[in-house]
């Protein structure tokens, strides 16, 4: 009886949602039908509401749930790995451009790119709290999946210096495969376990660098810091800028932690793992370049959406608001947007091919999902039943 009651309640909730969707009126200026709104989150200026059509205040939470399962320390380490990916991976920038350019770039670039991205992430993630954050799109999803493939490849590149057996062939492929499957399983276990795993991994990976830095103090030669690299060696600007960008981007991925994923969808984890393993055969440079290319496409849309939301919905409830007017926001977004276009322009043919194929595949996937929904071939999670 309890099971039947729950089913009836769930069916009733579905019918209510369908009825609500049918009854949502269009926003008109002639005093048409009205819907009940939340006075705490909704006011109007003329005929323009301050909520988006996709975020009905009667169904959208106005604050992040308080039943958090993650403390501050795991969150810090998760943000660290989301952005920097660990203490490894900066060396290619020194190799490609020389110590001086690498040092200056890592000092200046955060103010050009990271600060605007962080400010935009803070405003959008507080305006649209919840699991998954404010991101919705395949370019960002694919860039994150490709980015995952870079870490096993980078790890094996380090291990092959100690164990040459991992340099090529079947041992290298098996090591990358096992590493990818292990990381995917950790993601499947849930965010709480991932957070504490990030703490442990962060300590283990940072400790050798701390020890080596302390022991190397007597052997520091500051004149090497101003070197532009080996004479006669052509600088690899593609590798330099992609390495720099890869180590300082993905700040907006932190927004996906705003609501904390309680039950990660296993179907998408399997799909993500499959794509990750498919691109693991690429070189480290091509992997991060492909991730940066798709990420740049997504960020251009994100910057445009951020400015459009400020202009179209100035009264939208934003617990955090970037303290700038619209002209200042446009200028703030133009500078990093120019860098995104530059990153895309210096990409290789392999990157264009991979990004193009994945974009076409994503479009085909969209129509496949739409067809499956119309024929009720698959069961989709509405998101409103999570509390049942």
How far is it, in rounded angstroms, from Cα 156 to Cα 257? Answer: 29
Question: Given this model, what pLDDT does residue 39 score?
Answer: 38
- Which residues have CB under 8 Å from 29's CB, separation 6+? 46, 47
Q: Which of 317, 304, 312 minimizes the C-alpha distance to 48?
A: 312
Element at 351 (helix H, strand E) = helix 349-374
pLDDT per position as a tens digit, 13-56: 555 555 444 444 433 333 333 333 443 344 444 444 545 544 44
The mean pLDDT of 77-92, rounded to a whole number, is 76
How far is it, in rounded angstroms, from Cα 284 to Cα 350? Answer: 12
322 band by pLDDT with thresholds 50, 70 and 90 = very high
Which one has a higher pLDDT value, 32 or 164? Answer: 164
Q: Is the pLDDT at 239 greater than 80, yes or no? A: yes
**Looking at 26-35, 76-85, 225-234, which range is the least confident one?**
26-35
Which one has a higher pLDDT value, 129 or 355? Answer: 355
- DSSP assignment, residue 236? -
Q: Is the pLDDT at 362 greater than 90, yes or no? A: no
pLDDT above 70 as % of the chain? 71
Every domain of the chain and the residues it spans: 72-217+232-374
pLDDT above 90 as % of the chain? 11
CA Rg value for the chain: 24
Given the structure tokens 């323009």, which residue do they identify?
48
Number of H helices, E strands in the chain: 13, 2
The mean pLDDT of 218-223, rounded to a whole number, is 87
7 band by pLDDT with thresholds 50, 70 and 90 = low
User: What one-character-per-residue DSSP string does 162-228 give?
Assistant: H-GGGGSHHHHHHHHHHHHHHHHHHHHH-HHHHHHHHHHHHHHHHHHHHHHHHHTGGG--GGGGG--
Question: Given this model, what pLDDT does residue 11 score?
Answer: 59
pLDDT per position as a tens digit, 53-74: 444 444 444 444 445 556 778 7
The average confidence (pLDDT) of the chain is: 75
Q: Which of 157-161, 325-329, 362-366, 383-387 has the highest mean pLDDT?
A: 325-329
Supply the angle between the helices 284-312 and 138-162 in degrees, to the nearest 10: 150
Give a three-class secondary structure readout of 226-252.
Answer: HCCCCCCCCCCHHHHHHHHHHHHCCHH
Q: Which of 76-85, 239-248, 348-357 has the highest mean pLDDT?
A: 348-357
The mean pLDDT of 369-375, rounded to a whole number, is 84
Which one has a higher pLDDT value, 388 or 276? Answer: 276
pLDDT per position as a tens digit, 102-115: 999 999 988 888 88
CA 268 to chain centre: 15
Question: Given this model, what pLDDT does residue 79 score?
Answer: 78
Q: Which of 59, 37, 162 minimizes the C-alpha distance to 384?
A: 59
Question: Given this model, what pLDDT does residue 63 score?
Answer: 47
Q: Is the pLDDT at 383 greater than 60, yes or no? A: no
Question: Given this model, what pLDDT does residue 307 score?
Answer: 92
3 band by pLDDT with thresholds 50, 70 and 90 = very low
């Amino acid at each position: 009886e309890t099971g039947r009651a729950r089913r009836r309640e769930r069916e009733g909730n579905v019918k209510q949602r369908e009825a609500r969707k049918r009854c949502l009126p269009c926003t008109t200026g002639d005093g048409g039908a009205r819907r009940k709104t939340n006075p705490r989150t909704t006011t109007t200026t003329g005929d323009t509401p301050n909520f988006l059509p996709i975020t009905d205040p009667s169904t959208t939470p106005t604050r992040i749930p308080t039943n958090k399962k993650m403390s501050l320390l795991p969150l810090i380490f998760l943000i660290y790995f989301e952005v920097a990916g660990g203490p490894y991976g900066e060396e290619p920038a020194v190799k490609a451009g020389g110590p001086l350019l690498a040092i200056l770039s890592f000092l200046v670039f955060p103010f050009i790119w990271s600060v605007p991205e962080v400010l935009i992430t803070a405003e959008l993630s507080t305006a649209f709290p919840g699991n998954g954050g404010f991101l919705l799109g395949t370019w960002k999803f694919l860039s994150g999946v490709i980015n995952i493939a870079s870490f096993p490849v980078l790890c094996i590149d380090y291990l092959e210096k100690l164990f040459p057996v991992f340099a090529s062939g079947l041992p290298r492929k098996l090591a990358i495969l096992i590493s990818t499957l292990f990381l995917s399983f950790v993601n499947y276990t849930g965010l709480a376990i991932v957070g504490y795993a990030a703490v442990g991994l962060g300590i283990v990976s940072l400790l050798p660098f701390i020890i080596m830095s302390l022991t190397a103090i007597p052997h520091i030669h500051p004149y090497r810091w101003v070197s532009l690299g080996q004479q006669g060696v052509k600088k690899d600007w593609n590798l330099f800028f992609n390495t720099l960008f890869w180590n300082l981007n993905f700040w907006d991925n932190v927004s996906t932690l705003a609501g904390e994923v309680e039950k990660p969808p296993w179907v998408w984890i399997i799909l993500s793992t499959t794509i990750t393993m498919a691109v693991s055969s690429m070189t480290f440079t091509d992997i991060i370049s492909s991730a940066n290319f798709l990420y740049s496409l997504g960020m251009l849309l994100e910057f445009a959406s951020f400015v459009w939301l400020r202009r179209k919905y100035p009264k939208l409830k934003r617990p955090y608001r970037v303290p700038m007017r619209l002209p200042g926001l446009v200028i703030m977004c133009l500078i990093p947007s120019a860098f995104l276009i530059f990153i895309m322009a210096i990409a290789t043919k392999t990157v264009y091919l991979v990004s193009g194929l994945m974009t076409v595949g994503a479009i085909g996937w969209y129509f496949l999902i739409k067809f499956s929904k119309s024929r009720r071939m698959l069961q989709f999670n509405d998101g409103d039943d999570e509390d049942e």
